[in-house]
Amino acid sequence: MRHSITHPVRLVPLAFLIAALIGTGLLMLPISRAGDGAAPPLVALFTAVSAVCVTGLVIVDTVSYWSTFGEVVLVVLIQIGGFGIMTLASMLGLLAMGKLGLRHRLTAQLETKTLGLGDVGAVLKRVAILTFVVEATVGSIMTLRFLLYYGYDFGDALWHGLFHAVSAFNNAGFALYSDSVEGFVTDPLIMLPLAFAVIIGGIGFPVLLEVGRRMWRPVGWSVHTKLTLAGTAILLVLGFIAYLWLEWSNAGTIGNLSTGEKILASFFNAVMPRTAGFNAVPVGELNTQTLAVTDILMFIGGGSAGTAGGIKVTTFFLLAFVIWAEVRGEEDVTVGGRRIDTSVQRQALSVALLGVAAVAVGTLILLINTEIPLDDLVFEAISAFATVGLSTGITPELPLIGHLTLIVLMFAGRVGTFTVAAALAMRSRRRYYRYPTERPIVG
């Protein structure tokens, strides 16, 4: 029984569940609320799950509803959720790769030759250092900006800088402003540090470590690193072009900004679906076409073993290579001169289809229990599952069943995809017999 509970595939969801429940209890304390009384259980639970799953969806206004103590609880939950995701997802990935006989890839990623306890300690240490450096750098830049340009006193400037740096690096999207960061849409010294913190956190620790070791030798990068970096760049460029083109004349978003400000806002908006819920423009004012583009970017998400959600960039582009190989009639799927094992292809397909199923079921539940337009419900369901946190503004309006549905989607989206992927990989085994071949009609 003990072995069953401590199995990594079961331990990760259990750890996040415990963290969410502890966070719920803390947020229900009267000291956590800015007003009188304590937060209702549903409000505390929804907010705690959103924070520990680094999502950013809220049903109450963060800055006016929660006290300073409550905000501290939130930032701690975000840090635990983000740090835990990076380390635990990395560990599951390493265990899975080891089961698949890819020990040499683990060695390249971890600067070590074995998978002993020393390796785990080294990984945790490097993740902690990376987290501190990025958050401290971004927090310092924003603190100085708040202090010197916006006239905050030192304490407020430091708290706002630290809170938003932690929220950005962990792809959480929680903000200490009722309109998120819309008030800073024209300020590059606020927008760009937040955007780059989101990008770095969302790329994934294994990629960052490998790039750090082999920055000047990209030829030697693993297929995972190449897919993640190339896919991230492609999605950022396409997202930027789409936002700039579709929203150029939209007076409700960027239509009234200067050309330079439109470029800044479009870049920021292209980064956020990677998956951080900061919004520099009112999401509810976006054109329908832009919402559709955002749906796609949110569902794909960021890099594996990072703080981003979604089905992950590598999953999406790996499936694209599978389709391309099938169209060309090739027996093997190759990426960067390497053949992709069929078990990895099945894992990618399983993760993607489970993601589609989760969003579809969640959307259907919301549709049955509300009269909100389908476009908004799909957007909300994807945002929850992909742990993005962007919203058209309907989250507080949802009934109890709607809030519970989003809670399940956030939790499943944060711990579900990589847990399923790891479980599939760790259960991979060779059979010494094969059944007769059959070819059902496809398409």
Which contacts (CB < 8 Å, 24+ apart) does range 113-121 have? 119/94, 120/91
Span 254-260, average pLDDT: 96
The helix (H) or strand (E) run that includes residue 103 is helix 103-110
Rounded to 5 degrees, φ, ψ at 251 are -65, -20
Q: Which of 34-48, 204-218, 385-399 has the lowest mean pLDDT?
A: 204-218
Span 76-103, average pLDDT: 61
Query: Side chain identity at 52, as an amino acid letter?
Result: V
Other CB atoms within 10 A of residue 326 CB: 11
Answer whether 204's CB lies under 8 Å from 306's CB. Answer: yes
Please say if the pLDDT value at position 104 is more than 50.
no
Please say if the pLDDT value at position 89 is more than 80.
no
Q: What pLDDT was estimated at residue 115?
A: 37
Q: What pLDDT was estimated at residue 103?
A: 38
Other CB atoms within 10 A of residue 387 CB: 35
| Residue 117, Cβ density class (10 Å: 0-12 exposed, 13-18 middle, ≥19 buried) | exposed
CA 183 to chain centre: 24
Answer whether 32's CB lies under 8 Å from 66's CB. Answer: yes
pLDDT tens-digit readout, 223-238:
888 999 999 999 999 9
pLDDT tens-digit readout, 415-428:
876 565 555 555 55
Answer whether 410's CB lies under 8 Å from 57's CB. Answer: yes
Span 139-145, average pLDDT: 97
The helix (H) or strand (E) run that includes residue 339 is strand 338-339
Q: What pLDDT was estimated at residue 347?
A: 83
Q: Which of 330-339, 349-358, 410-419 has the lowest mean pLDDT?
A: 410-419
Tokens of 225: 């690193």
Please say if the pLDDT value at position 85 is more than 70.
no
Give Cβ neighbours of residue 109 (< 8 Å, ≥ 6 apart): 94, 206, 209, 210, 222
Q: Which residue(s) pair with 190 in the sheet?
A: none
Predicted confidence band of residue 248 (pLDDT cuts 50, 70, 90): very high
Which of 133 and 110 is assigned the larger pLDDT? 133
Please say if the pLDDT value at position 325 is more than 80.
yes
Residue corresponding to tokens 């599951």? 92
Please say if the pLDDT value at position 164 is more than 50.
yes
Please say if the pLDDT value at position 111 is more than 50.
no
Q: What pLDDT was estimated at residue 100?
A: 35
CA 182 to chain centre: 21
- Nearest-5° Cα angle at 394, 393 to 398: 150
Please say if the pLDDT value at position 73 is more than 70.
yes
Rounded to 5 degrees, φ, ψ at 383 are -60, -40
Q: Which of 23-37, 135-149, 219-233, 373-387 has the lowest mean pLDDT?
A: 219-233
Give Cβ neighbours of residue 239 (< 8 Å, ≥ 6 apart): 269, 270, 271, 273, 293, 297
Span 114-120, average pLDDT: 44
Please say if the pLDDT value at position 439 is more than 90.
no
Q: What is the pTM of this model?
A: 0.87
DSSP per residue, 249-266? T-TTTTTTS-HHHHHHHH
Q: Which of 25-29, 130-134, 136-140, 258-262 has the lowest mean pLDDT?
A: 130-134
Residue corresponding to tokens 């750098």? 137
